[in-house]
Amino acid sequence: MPTGKEILDFFSIYYSQYGYLIIGTVLLLDNIVVVGLLLPSELLITMGGYFARQGDFSLPLMLVVGYLGMMIGQSIAYFIGEKGLQYFLIRWGFGEQLQSANTYFTKYGMTALIFASFAGSTRAMLSVVIGSSNVTYKEFLVWESLAAIIWVCAFSFLGYFLGYNQTLIEWIVGNVGKIAPTVLIVWVIITIYQRKWGKSK
């Protein structure tokens, strides 16, 4: 079984060559409804911050690329709502997620974009709901820009500062098979809580 250092060295090759492309593409797709349900963007951008700390590429440029990718993806979600295409999402079985996002928007208004940026699939669904409302694209851009900056910086700097303790990261990666069950349990608990919390709202 490969060590943590060997695993990180393997990913480092791809991040050093295609890091900006990985970050930009993943964040663009992650913020488009349906597609975003399949991508672990938080993990990938945190890894990007880590490899930026190791000198594989520029952290400032990575932040810019990540921001642009997120903004483009969210803009696509907004226009899906503006053009009334959410009808297809309902037919594809995403009606409950749209309703939850609509309730979230009704309660918190545009500030919901900031909180929803950390709520997985709700992020893109919320932009669809906002696009179908009377909120202008200009106003949407202002709030989404703030949300994107906070989100991208949060996970990028998390990975960057984790990079200061490379020994710890190598241990975590090398023992991922042992800690994965615990992480899975925590993730399930958080997911159940989020769904119950969303319904209660």
* pLDDT tens digits along 49-61: 988 998 888 999 9
Q: What is the DSSP string of 3-56?
A: -HHHHHHHHHHHHHHHHHHHHHHHHHHHTSTTGGGG--HHHHHHHHHHHHHTTS
pLDDT at position 194 is: 54
Sign, CA dihedral 158-3-26-17, equals positive
- According to the model, what pLDDT value does residue 88 have? 77
What CA–CA distance (Å, rounded) separates 75 from 80?
Answer: 9
Number of helices (H), then strands (E), belonging to the chain: the values are 10, 0
The pLDDT of residue 120 is 64
Residues 104-131 have pLDDT tens digits of 788 888 888 888 777 766 777 888 889 8
Which region among 12-21, 97-106, 126-135, 142-151 has the lowest average model confidence (pLDDT)?
97-106
For the entire predicted model, the pTM comes to 0.78
| pLDDT of residue 197 exceeding 60 | no
On the CB side of 129, CA atoms within 13 Å amount to 26
